[in-house]
A = this chain, B = another copy of it.
Amino acid sequence: MNKYPASISNLITQFSKLPGLGPKSAERLVFYLLKQPGEFLNNLADNINCLKNQIKICQTCFNFSTKNPCEICTDPKRDKCIICVVAYPQDLLVIEKTGEYNGLYHVLDGVLNPLENITPDKIRIKELVNRLKNPKKIKEIIIALNPDIEGESTTLYLTRQLKPYKVKTTRLAKGLPTGADLEYADAITVTDALKGRREV
């Protein structure tokens, strides 16, 4: 015997394909599962099975939801004049959790990255532009992408694409995060904080 029984090794192979899991951690997972009650496994399997069936992609904002259009796009209490552009649904939730934003969203499903062949047609930029064209009632677009190289270049690209529509385009503030220590802050962050200084 120089390998595990098929049902163990197949599951190890499948788990090791998932992000953040290598062969060793996948092996550990499978042996952990083997020790769990059958009920736990059935439940996990059911949830994986149902995932795709129960989750839809909202065809307006491209967020994952149980409905299409999603709860946010159809919520009458939300401000339909403002769209916050995020890279992934996870980022959308981060903005929602602040409780400070009451507008709509647009999930790009990625950021531009020429090295990984993610060009403008691969993410939902066209769909964002279409949302501006149609009812022409959008007043502001907030670009909420990560302040890293890919996020910055996507922000720049989006700004140019949105220019013809004469809509106010803003981006999240850059500066010192709460609890930061000026002594250890990097020069770029301090520069951003200086440039973005506000009256108190």
Contacts and interface: CB of A to CB of B under 8 A. Distances in A.
A150 to B, nearest CB: 17
Contacts of A7: 47, 50-51, 54-55, 66
A32 interface: yes
Contacts of A46: 45
A169 to B, nearest CB: 24
Interface string A1-30: 111111110110010001111000101111
A38 B19 CA distance: 17
B34 A55 contact: yes
A132 to B, nearest CB: 23
A56 to B, nearest CB: 9
A118 interface: no
A48 interface: yes
Contacts of A97: 2
**Chain multiplicity (copies):** 2
| Range, interface on chain A | 35 or more
Interface string A34-49: 1000100111111111
A50 B184 CA distance: 53
A45 B15 CA distance: 11
B93 A4 contact: yes
Interface of A: 1-8, 10-11, 14, 18-21, 25, 27-34, 38, 41-52, 54-55, 64-66, 71-72, 88-90, 93, 96-97, 99
6 contacts: A1-B96, A8-B51, A14-B43, A31-B90, A33-B48, A41-B48
